[in-house]
Amino acid sequence: MSETESILDQIAEAPADHYRILKISDLDGDRLLELSQFMHLSLSKEDMLAVQEIYREWNREPTDVELEVIAQTWSEHCKHRIFGADIEHETNGKKEAVKSLFKTYIYDVSNRIFDRKPGFVLSAFHDNAGFIKLDEKLAICLKAETHNHPSAIEPYAGANTGIGGVVRDILGAGKGAKPIASLDVFCFGAPDTTMDNIKADDVLHPLGIMRGVVRGVRDYGNRMGIPTVSGAIQFDNSYIYNPLVYCGTAGSIPIKYIDKEVGAGMKVIAVGGRTGRDGLHGATFSSAALDTESHESDQQAVQIGNPIEEKKAADFVLAARDADLIEFITDCGAGGYSSAAGEMLEECGGTINLDNVTLKEPGMVSWEIFISESQERMVLAVKEKSMQELQKLADLYETELIVLGDADGSGILKVTHHGETVCQLDCSKLHTAPTRHLSAKWELKTEPVDAPAVDNGGEDLRSLLADFAVVSREPIIREYDHEVQGNTILKPLAGASGDAPQDASVMRVNGSDRLMSMSVSILPEWGKTDPYAMGTACVDECIRQMVASGADPDRLAILDNFCMGNPDAEEELGALVETVKGIAAAAEIYGAPFVSGKDSFYNYFETEEGPVSIPVTILISGMGIVEDVSHVTGSSLRRRDSLIAVIGSTESDLGGSVYARQKGLANATVPGTDMEAAMGLYRTYYEAVKEGLILSAHDVSEGGLAVTLAEAAFSGKAGLEIDLSSLPTGENVSVAAMLFGESPSRLVVEIAPENLERVAAVFEGQPFAPLGRAAGEHSNLKVTRGADVLINEPLDELKSLWKNGLAHYY
Amino acid sequence: MEERPRALLLKFPGTNCDEETARALKVVGFSTEIVPISALNTETLDGVSLVMLSGGFSYGDYVMSGRLARLVTEQKIGAGLREFRDNGGYLLGICNGFQILTQLGLLPEGSLVENTSGRFQCQWVKMKKQADSPFLSLLPDEFEFPMAHAEGRLVTMSAEDARKYRESGAAAVTYDQDVNGSFEQIAGLQDETGRVFGMMPHPERFLYREDHYDPDWKNSAPDSAGSGEEKWGSGYYLFRSLYESVTSSN
């Protein structure tokens, strides 16, 4: 009998005891790997050998609970080992060694910005969300997560628990932040995908995924009473097998409640839902690729959320925080109690008694209880003398409170069950996972291509407005309660007609005269050929949208949320490295630090025709500070006699644009971002906003200038007369690029005629030009270039195409 | 100094519009307390002028909306709310609160069922005042509020009943068009005393002028942007109407 058989037999035949000791010290690498796979640990052979080594040093064998804890702790989901890996990267023949993408391009870059802006960022990277200062008393925070794998398998439940999880991150940030707004960003296959384009069994059609995901977000967010105000959807066939579901939530907190610490003698308690077999191995499951079998076998890892359970826990947490009864709090997410208690006790040490955990079903063994990811649970460290008061609040808000154990200052995480010690780990050892060594390679795929002649601009514009990339998201937005809490000042749909698109959302924050702006940017089409340009453009767009809405360009913070396919494929990892370099360069120049981030790997699928990976996809989301409600600026035309101007220079490159995709211009050069120039423009724009010179502003993005103008005019106030003759441009800019190119850093602004001279003076020396006027006498979008009429289309027809484009599918 | 009238906002597990509703009540002059339902007993209502039921999803509303909230309320205080009304108290239910008041039988008979669209709908709606009410006295005949619900379609046993509500003034507010399939486009109901009022749209979300989706709301001249004179949104006037009725009847 081989050793591997013996250990697997040992597991299979052992009596149903609550824990086991596993004899691993004599196993070779292959057998250790088999054990890892058998237990769904998602640990590599190298990791298992490292575990074996740790136990050899300790001169004992691990329990199953300990192995599960180590697997959770070392999982990609919890430890982000690829972002910490040593990477040999080669780009266009140049080689470089990257020691930790995170440290080099995220952490160090942000720290340099913190130094430049003392007192602005109050907490970053170590807590569940990063905080920036709103005013002297309050801070705001933002966190975004992905829930891709669960949403692929069970879209409703996956999205449901995705939003539930990120809301808990906010509740577990500082000593408990109040969730005040949510964002949701999705990437799906195209709604009109045909079944024969899906090359694997059991994969859900993109429409089924979209409907399930939207309803999942709706039913959780609406019941929790958190307005879903911001979002984006990308449709691309590379997401058929691996849809992406990003959920983000913002919070507010009194600054005095940001710092938290666990001390010896404190009680460790949990509130909220009970613990069950649902959600086993979520952390390790999301650190592996999907295949058809996943759709059958991994159901166990997906749960249904219970938003009312979480709402009750949230009410409790915020009341307890305001009564100053919380010393430390964190959420139960991936890894369940093992991660939450592990994080809480990693320095202090302490004992968790699993006998105290209230269960959803009897007969759960130790490791199941400890790593179960059952939803709606929060873990707190509190002073013993606060217990009575806390119990009263738990009764008042009808949430269950249990005592998990004690913090004791020993530095050892000890877990007991049925009177036995089932886990005893030196926490400091847990966090030394082996460093991974990877290689990456990227070669730019783009080339200059000639722009097509624009023969019928009106037809091109119609086609763009009806594109899935551009059409109104209204059917989805209306399913989300985006006004609960009564603070949504700039709504996702606004303007005189109440249904025109806005760039960012602006929220009033209770207790402050200042407001919070939130926005998102995601441009995967750019990254397919030029990931560095995608990175810079995403940061630019996210910042530009917040600035357009009235935020101070010098008080913005951003988050980086990455998704990619197979990091072991050199070229995919190379695209990731280039993207990271792009966002880092932009963050540094714009002075917008990263305060939190997350990554999701293995978004690839083994189809009948081989593996399909998603393109490297970066979501940049941001929060910013709006000084005064009078600065809030929407994206919709407000007057019938105003002037329309463009700020920022239009460049020639068409790559990445919706127009290029529609015209089949594969690999066209993607526009770069002149970041110094852009930041100068945004600061100037902000001066104009503060002087009250800007009536409305809309950022130029998907569909280019023509779509931007149309969208601004969808408020229904007036037509537009625009002449591109004086459009500020770079060299050799075609008419196609003027109308439909998507080069970054541009805004269309509306100004009152009497203010033109002043605005022109403010923008002196920067690319700024009045192009035309709101035309109260008609309701067409008319764009000319000198005597050439490029577009002359009735706005009501354009709006109908745009507004109804998704309605049919949703 | 005159004491401010007391408002009590009942918070069920899943109630989620409590803070902004309490803010609106405070702004117009009420002394306002949010009371979790677990703490409710008959004495809680002593000295209270207004019982407020705000929006949310009480107990998740997985059964018929407002159903469990009604059962728990009755278990806690029996006919206490009815007695409160009979003694001159005011009751206001918004969205889920309207659903709960309907379930409690404190408003003319009817049910709030799934919108004809089958969807949750978050949108602004134009509304019309159809009868005098202490809750509407300071509002013009037409006004706008945001609504946000999946079950706001008011149905009655027969279409005739709904028509009678229009004639009698029980249907105090209507939508100006069919937004959710409500019979007679009814958006809100009042009882015979006029002191119990329920409505689906959310006045507390339109407390200030800047809450409106159109930044130029209330600017009279089409070509004059600028901040406008009005500080308050229509929601302020609903709550202020109520405040004035309560203080003048005390």
Question: What residues does each domain of chain B span?
Answer: 6-249
How far apart are the C-alpha atoms of A759 and A765, rounded to whole Å? 12
pLDDT at A24: 93
- Give the full edge-to-edge strand order of the sheet including A505-508: A488-490, A505-508, A515-522, A617-626, A556-563, A594-600
**Is pLDDT above 50 for B1?**
no
The active-site residue, picked from A80, A147, A417, A698, is A147
A-chain residue closest to B96, CA distance: A223
What percentage of chain B's residues is helix, strand, coil (to nearest 5)? Answer: 35, 25, 40
First to last CA, chain A: 58
Say if residues A98 and A435 touch (Cβ distance below 8 Å).
no
- Region A725-749 average pLDDT: 97
Question: Out of B144, B151, B184, B204, which one is annotated catalytic?
Answer: B204
Chain B hits for A312, Cβ within 8 Å:
13
Contact A634 B215 (CB under 8 A): yes
CA gap B101, B66 in Å, rounded = 8
Q: What pTM did the predictor assign?
A: 0.95
| pLDDT exceeds 60 at position A287 | no
The DSSP string of A219-250 is: HHHHHHT--EEEEEEEE-GGGSSS-EEEEEEE
**What residue type is assigned to position A599 of the chain?**
D
- Helix, strand or coil, per DSSP, at residue A95: strand
Q: Between chain A and chain B, how many beta carbons pairs sit less than 8 Å apart?
A: 115
- Answer yes or no: is pLDDT of A774 > 80: yes
Is residue B226's pLDDT more than 60?
Answer: no
What is the tens place of the pLDDT at every residue in A708-736?
Answer: 999 999 999 999 999 999 999 999 999 99
Distance from CA of B7 to the nearest CA of A (A): 19
Q: How confident is the model at residue A301 (pLDDT cuts 50, 70, 90)?
A: low
Q: Return the beta strands (E) in A359-411 as ranges.
A: 377-382, 400-407
Residues in chain A with CB shorter than 8 Å from the CB of B211 are 486, 488-489
Task: Quote the minimal CA–CA distance from B233 to chain A in Å.
Answer: 12
Read off the pLDDT of each residue in B143-148 and give the average, rounded to a whole number: 98
Do A592 and A557 form a contact (C-beta atoms < 8 A)?
yes
In residues, how long is chain B? 250
Instruction: Give residue B230's pLDDT.
Output: 83
pLDDT digits (tens, 9 = 90+) for A169-183: 999 999 999 999 999
**Using an 8 Å Cβ cutoff, are A575 and A90 in contact?**
no
pLDDT of residue A243: 97
Q: Taking Cα atoms as reference points, which of B127, B176, B185 lies closest to residue B152?
A: B185
Asked whether residue A148 carries a pLDDT value surpassing 80, the answer given is: yes
Which pLDDT score, from 0 to 100, does residue B3 have? Answer: 85
Check whether A13 has a pLDDT greater than 70: no
Report CA-CA distances (Å) from A70 to A79, A81, A342, A424, A800. Answer: 11, 14, 10, 12, 55
- Report which of B234, B11, B228 is spatially closest to residue B140, judged by C-alpha positions: B234
Mind listing the pLDDT tens digit for each residue in A401-411? 999 999 999 98
Q: Are B146 and B202 within 8 A, CB to CB?
A: yes
Residue B106 has pLDDT above 80, yes or no: yes
Average pLDDT over residues A496-506: 97
**How many angstroms separate the most distant Cα atoms in chain A?**
91
Q: Is the pLDDT of residue A424 over 70?
A: yes
The answer to whether A482 is a known catalytic residue is no
**pLDDT (average), residues A314-343:** 93
Mean predicted confidence (pLDDT) in A744-771: 97
Could you tell me the pLDDT band of residue A288, with boundaries at 50, 70 and 90?
Answer: low
Residue A1 binned pLDDT confidence (cut-offs 50, 70, 90): very low
Domain ranges across chain A: 3-63, 119-430
Phi, psi of A247 (to 5 degrees): -125, 135
Catalytic residue among A77, A80, A89, A281: A77
Q: Which pLDDT value is given to residue A40?
A: 84
Cβ contact A203:A345 at 8 Å: no
High-pLDDT (> 90) share of chain A, %? 84
Among candidate residues A454, A455, A458, the one with its CA nearest the CA of residue A798: A458
On the question of pLDDT at B242 being above 50, the answer is yes
Taking residues A260-264, report their average pLDDT. Answer: 95
Reduced to 3 states (helix: H, G, I; strand: E, B; else coil), residue B155 is strand
Both tokens of A75, joined, read 């999982």
Q: Which residue has the higher pLDDT, A535 or A373?
A: A535
- Write the pLDDT tens digit of every residue in A789-799: 999 999 999 99
What does the pLDDT read at residue B146?
A: 98
Entry field: residues in chain A: 810
Quote the pLDDT of residue A313: 98
| Amino acid identity, position A403 | V
| Mean pLDDT (chain A, rounded) | 93
Q: Within the 624-653 window of chain A, which residues sit less than 8 Å (CB to CB) from chain B?
A: 629-630, 632, 634, 638-641
Q: For residue range B176-195, what is the model confidence (pLDDT) as tens digits?
A: 999 999 999 999 999 999 99
Strand partners, A246: A146, A185
Name residue, tokens 């207004």.
Answer: B50
- Among the residue ranges A177-191, A192-206, A396-410, the one predicted with the least confidence is A192-206
CA distance A632 to A642: 18
Amino acid letter for position A700: V
The residue with greater pLDDT, A298 or A125, is A125
State the best of A308, A309, A376 to mutate against chain B, taking most chain B CBs within 10 Å: A308
| Interface check A750 vs B, CB under 8 A | no
Stretch B56-84: mean pLDDT, rounded? Answer: 94
Instruction: Give CA–CA dist A48/A44, Å, rounded.
Output: 6
Report A:180-199 residues touching B (Cβ under 8 A).
Answer: none
Contacts with A638 from chain B: Cβ below 8 Å: 215-216, 225
What are the CA-CA distances from residue A322 to residues A175, A176, A271, A325 (Å)? Answer: 10, 9, 17, 8
Residue A720 CB contacts under 8 Å (≥ 6 apart), including other chains:
A637, A644, A709, A712, A713, A772, A773, A774, A775, A780, A781, A782, A783
Residue B168 C-alpha, separation from nearest chain A C-alpha, in angstroms: 33
Please tell me the predicted confidence (pLDDT) of residue B243: 98
CA distance A98 to A576: 12
Given CA atoms B96, B98, B103, B104 in this order, what sign does their dihedral have?
positive
Alpha-carbon torsion, ordered A461, A463, A468, A472, to 10 deg: 50
Q: Select the CATH number that applies to the domain covering B6-249 from these four: 3.40.50.970, 3.40.50.720, 3.90.550.10, 3.40.50.880.
A: 3.40.50.880
Burial bucket for residue A432 (CB in 10 Å: 0-12, 13-18, 19+): exposed
Residue A11 has pLDDT above 70, yes or no: no
The top-level CATH class assigned to A119-430 is alpha beta
Distance from CA of A549 to the nearest CA of B (A): 13
Residues A225, A484: contact at Cβ < 8 Å?
Answer: yes
* Continuous segment of H or E residues that includes residue A488: strand A488-490
A201 pLDDT band (50/70/90 cuts)?
A: confident
The answer to whether residue A12 scores a pLDDT higher than 90 is: no
pLDDT of the residue at A230: 96
Helix (H, G, I), strand (E, B) or coil at B171: coil
Q: Are B120 and A479 inside 8 Å of each other by CB?
A: yes
Query: Does A555 score more than 50 pLDDT?
Result: yes
Please compute the mean of the pLDDT values over residues A359-369 and round it to a whole number.
Answer: 92
Percent of chain A with pLDDT over 70: 95
Q: Which of B168, B220, B219, B161 is nearest to B190 (CA)?
A: B168
